[in-house]
């Protein structure tokens, strides 16, 4: 069944919410023939190896939820770098605000457009859970036409697959579930999104999982978006049809990230082994 539409995301709180121990920051419609699409703009190339979580690039979400479907509240305490080079986002049964669980999300301050997005990560596993890596440009300014999004969503009920999806102008229902050939909750793997003016390409360990080509009647995202990393758990009957019933295993669940990189379209690749080096 199609997942519920992502609700309008509330704006981040001020930088005072960032973890003191984790320094936390960063810079559309279909392309128009009169000029280049806005996604030719956006932030520049970078490689993040999580020696720390610097406040020039990242925000840490804290103190709110994204809707009634979310069974946890974003908490900066669930964002940690236990060892330099390893970021963990976790979900625990520590209540926060009006939710029984607390969970984690970080997002870039800048928005990024066409180029190659790469992440090395291991996801969490549990029914009702989502570990996510995606780009997001929400309609906070009231313009739904700019609500673009491109997703890797790992459903904890089946970590041997990944759900790939995108939204253009707020319109989704483009999801597919692709087999990974391994358990993403026990294997550190490299995932990549190539966002080009005429196509989207999702890959794992250099292997193409899915490609979508833009058509006049089926545009792809073209507005620069924030890069988002998150782990959360659902609640309610509607969300169960997508994620399965929420089942906390009695211990914290974590998604672990070792590297994230963005290579802007036309720039040289940023690290050895990047698919942008091809």
233 contacts 101 by C-beta, under 8 angstroms: yes
- CA dist 225 to 13, 40, 119, 235, 262, Å? 18, 12, 16, 27, 12
Among 98, 258, 97, 277, CA closest to 194 = 277
Measure the CA–CA gap between 103 and 92, rounded to whole angstroms. 7
Radius of gyration of the chain from its Cα atoms, rounded to whole angstroms: 17
Measure the CA–CA gap between 221 and 117, rounded to whole angstroms. 14
Measure the CA–CA gap between 175 and 164, rounded to whole angstroms. 5
The 3-state DSSP class for residue 143 equals coil
Annotated catalytic residue 149: yes
Say if strands 86-91 and 79-83 run parallel, antiparallel, or are unpaired. antiparallel
Q: Which token pair is 2?
A: 């199609």
Torsion over CA: 150, 156, 162, 165 (sign): negative
Choosing from 149, 173, 178, 240, the catalytic residue is 149
Choosing from 48, 105, 118, 153, the catalytic residue is 153
Measure the CA–CA gap between 28 and 214, rounded to whole angstroms. 13
The residues carrying an active-site annotation are 149, 153
């Amino acid at each position: 069944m199609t997942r519920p539409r992502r609700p309008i995301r509330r704006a981040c709180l001020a930088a005072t919410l960032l973890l003191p121990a984790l320094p936390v920051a960063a810079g559309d419609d279909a392309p128009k023939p009169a000029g280049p699409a806005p996604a030719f703009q956006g932030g520049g190339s970078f490689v993040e190896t999580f020696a720390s979580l610097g406040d020039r690039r990242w925000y840490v979400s804290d103190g709110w939820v994204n809707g009634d479907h979310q069974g946890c509240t974003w908490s900066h305490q669930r964002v940690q770098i236990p060892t330099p080079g390893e970021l963990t986002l976790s979900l625990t049964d520590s209540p926060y605000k009006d939710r029984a669980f607390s969970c984690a999300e970080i997002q870039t301050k800048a928005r990024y457009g066409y180029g190659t997005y790469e992440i090395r990560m291991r996801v969490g596993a549990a029914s009702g859970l989502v570990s996510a890596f995606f780009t997001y440009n929400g309609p906070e300014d009231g313009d739904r036409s700019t609500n673009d999004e491109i997703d890797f969503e790992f459903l904890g009920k089946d970590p041997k697959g990944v759900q790939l999806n995108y939204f253009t102008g707020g319109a989704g229902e483009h999801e597919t579930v692709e087999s990974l050939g391994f358990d993403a909750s026990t294997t550190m793997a490299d995932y990549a999104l190539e966002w080009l003016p005429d196509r989207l390409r999702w890959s794992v360990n250099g292997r193409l999982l899915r490609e979508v080509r833009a058509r006049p009647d089926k545009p792809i995202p073209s507005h620069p978006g924030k890069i988002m990393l998150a782990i959360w758990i659902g609640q309610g009957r509607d969300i169960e049809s997508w994620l399965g019933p929420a089942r906390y295993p009695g211990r914290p669940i974590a998604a672990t990230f070792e590297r994230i990189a963005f290579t802007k379209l036309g720039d040289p690749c940023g690290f050895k082994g990047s698919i942008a080096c091809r």
